[in-house]
Amino acid sequence: MAELLRAYLAELMRREVDDPRLAAVVITTVEVTDDLMSARIGVRLLVGDEDPKVRTVVMKSLAKGAGRLRRLIAPRLELRRSPELRFHYDAGHDASRRVEELLHEIKTVDRVKSGERVESDVPNEPPEDSE
């Protein structure tokens, strides 16, 4: 059900939503409760993802349009009652990027401690001649 809901929402957001701010929204996850009464939808932005103000505006727009999306999706799901749509910003990608940055820093520090030359530490120094 979650994957079906994700596909329908993506299509509806592309075709039916007139808000240009939502054009860059990508649905990353959909979690539906066992009783199908509520769906938690993770979203990210293709453009402006780094700007918290843009994220806030988009999340408010999604919250405001959730009722309309719910009404539009109801006939497609063929359920007595369509799930309540709750949108949240999916920060998983940000967290994984930060972990990668930290691992890179640790690796760099380990190289420096072991005496290896790290090119990013001395960017303008010419390579040493080996004679």
Confidence of residue 123 (pLDDT cuts 50, 70, 90): very low
**Domains, the chain:** 2-90 (3.30.300.20)
Confidence of residue 130 (pLDDT cuts 50, 70, 90): very low
pLDDT of amino acid 94: 61
Cα dihedral 68, 70, 74, 80 in deg (nearest 10):
-130
Q: Each residue of 64-108: pLDDT tens digit?
A: 989 999 999 988 888 888 899 999 998 876 666 677 777 777 888
Between CA 8 and CA 14, with CA 13 as vertex, the angle to 5 degrees is: 100
Average pLDDT value for the chain:
80
Confidence of residue 19 (pLDDT cuts 50, 70, 90): confident
